[in-house]
Homo-oligomer: A and B are copies of this chain.
Amino acid sequence: MDPDREHHRHAGLHPLRGRARHSPAAIREQLLRAARHVFATAGYRGATTRRIAQEAGLSEITLFRHFGSKDSLIHEALREAVPDADSARLPDVPQDPERELTVWCQLRATHIHNLRSLIRTAMGEIEEHPEIIPHAGRCPGLAAQELRAYLERLRAQGRVDADVDPGVASAMLMGALFAAAIGRDVMPEVYGRDAASTVSAFVRLFLRGIGAGRHGPRASRATPHPHNGAARR
C-alpha cells in the first residue's frame, strides 16, 4: 500500500482543496479590499500578508501568486482607494452659495469621515513611505482646487470681497472640514455637535469671511446698531 505516499493521502479529507470558485478578477478585488481594510487598521507593518490573506478568506500563497509581493499589493490597493472622489460637483455658475457650498461640504465631510481610518493610517506612514503621498494628497488637492475655482467664479460675479485670495480661502475651509471629519471621534469635546450642523456653521462663517454672507452681493448685511447690549451672555 505504498506507505511512503501515506503522508499525502490524508489530504483527501479537506473538501475545499484546490477549487476555483471565483473568477481571478473577483479574487484580486477581494485581496485588494482586504489589504485596504487591514492596512487601515494596522498600518504598513501591521498589514501582514498572513492577516490580509486570512481576511480575504484566501491562502497566503494565492496572494503572492496574484501580486508578487506585499509592497505591490498595498500600493495597488491604495491607488484605487478613493474612487468616488468626484461624486458631486460645485455648479459652474454659482447661484445660492450657502446652499451649494453646504451640500458640497457635507458630502466631502462624510466622505472623509468614512475613510478616516485609512487616512489617519496613511498619514502615519508618510515618513517611511513617502511614495504614497501623490495618491494620498491627490483627492483633497482636487477638492481644494474645485472649491478655489468656484470661489473665483463667485468673485468674478462681484459677490466676494476683492481682497480675498480664493486659494487661501479654499485652503482654510477645506482644512477646517478635514480636521473636523478626522478629529470628530477622537476629540468630541471640541467638535461637540453633530457633523451636519458643524459643517453648515463653518460654511456660514466662511461666506461671511469672504464677504458673501447672504444671497447676492452683500444684500441685507446692514446692521444699523452694532453695539448691541444683548451680545452679553
Binding site for B on A (CB under 8 A): 40-43, 45-46, 117, 120-128, 133, 136-137, 140-141, 144, 155-158, 160-162, 164-165, 167-180, 182-183, 186-187, 189-193, 198, 201-202, 205-211, 217-218, 223, 226-233
A128 touches B46 (CB 8 A): yes
Look across to chain B and name the residue whose beta carbon is closest to the beta carbon of A133. Answer: B186
Contacts of A42 in B (CB 8 A): 127-128
Known: A121-B127, A140-B187, A157-B231. 13 other contacts (CB 8 A): A45-B45, A124-B125, A133-B186, A156-B232, A158-B227, A162-B231, A168-B201, A168-B205, A170-B190, A171-B191, A173-B176, A175-B180, A205-B206
CA distance A158 to B233 in the complex (A): 10
A128 touches B43 (CB 8 A): yes
Of the candidates A40, A41, A137, A205, the one having the most CB atoms from chain B within 10 angstroms of its own CB is: A205
The main secondary structure of chain A at its interface with chain B is helix
Contacts of A180 in B (CB 8 A): 171-172, 175
Q: A128-B43, A179-B175 are in contact. Are A168 and B193 (CB under 8 A)?
A: yes
Number of identical protomers: 2
CA distance A233 to B205 in the complex (A): 25
Contacts of A231 in B (CB 8 A): 155-158, 160, 162
A190 touches B162 (CB 8 A): no
Output the least CB separation between A205 and chain B (Å): 4
B226 touches A127 (CB 8 A): no
Output the least CB separation between A108 and chain B (Å): 13
Top 10 nearest A-B pairs (CB, nearest first) are A124-B124, A175-B179, A209-B209, A205-B209, A175-B176, A45-B45, A158-B231, A217-B226, A168-B201, A172-B176
